[in-house]
Amino acid sequence: MENFLVLVDIGNSRFHIFKNGEIIHSLKPLKLDGDVFYISVNEKREKEFLALNPKAINLAKFVKFDTSYKGLGIDRIMACKSVESGVVVDAGSAITIDVMDNFRHLGGIIMPGLRAFREAFAKISPKLDMEFTKIDLLTLPTSTKEAISYGSIGAVVRVIESLDDKKIYLTGGDGKFLQEYVGGEFIEDLVFRGMIKTIKEEYENSFAKR
């Protein structure tokens, strides 16, 4: 079964596809072979995807997750699900920062993604419309480029640092970049690990019910 297992994480800007141990990022939905399981945070993209893959199964209805957070995104649930204790950072269109303690979700924070920060600065003034640079958080910025980089990358780092001194797990497009500042472990397939765990739990559960 594992050979034909295909997992899809439908985000706000991309489709992330896990297939044969590889991750593909696609701007458009793809028609997929095999047993397709998916999660989605974007209804419009989900419809486009289901039009091509009508038999795909939404894992949202099967997942079990311990949290008192109202309306926690399914992608965040999946990223957190395989983490026992730690800070889970998913740096994509938005940057979500969630805290897990003994497989219980304690709460979380949402920040704009680095591209969203970049666009926000550009919209405020053409003078702030420039690429970020790597920053040194121990030195105060002395140029606009450094100042906006500190005010976005640095802000994300300061929020993460202010949380409990737990191990940090990072994923998402900017996860590896942020790891340089906050340390911890970058796990590219963190969301997919949660999806696989959900499938396994449901599988064991249906056997138990027999």
Q: Please, which residue, 32 or 87, has the CB nearer to a copy of itself?
A: 87
Catalytic residue among 75, 90, 174, 189: 75
Q: Are 47 and 17 in contact (CB under 8 A)?
A: no
How distant is the alpha carbon of residue 3 from its chain centre?
24
CA angle (51 as vertex; 42, 64 as ends), nearest 5:
50
Among 189, 195, 208, 171, CA closest to 63:
195
Which residues are CB-contacts of 192 (< 8 A; sequence separation ≥ 6)? 7, 9, 18, 23, 78
For the bound state, the minimum distance from the C-beta of residue 51 to a copy of itself, rounded and expressed in Å, comes to 21
Q: How far is the CB of 18 from a copy of itself (least distance, A)?
A: 22
Output 19 or 141, the one with its CB closest to a copy of itself: 141
Which residue's CB is nearer to a copy of itself, number 78 or number 111? 111
Q: How far is the CB of 55 from a copy of itself (least distance, A)?
A: 27
> Rounded distance, CA 8 to CA 37, Å?
6
Per the annotation, the verdict on 35 as an active-site residue is: no
Q: Phi-psi bin for 85: left (phi > 0), alpha (psi -120 to 50), beta?
A: beta
Task: Tell me how far, at minimum, the Cβ of 30 lies from a copy of itself, in Å.
Answer: 22
CA distance 71 to 79: 15
Give contact residues for a copy of itself (rule: CB under 8 A). Answer: 12, 41-42, 67-71, 73, 93-97, 99, 106-113, 116-117, 119-121, 123-125, 127-128, 137, 139-144, 147-148, 150-152, 154-156, 158-159, 161-162
Q: Of 23 and 128, which CB lies nearer to a copy of itself in the complex structure? A: 128
Q: Which residues are catalytic?
A: 75
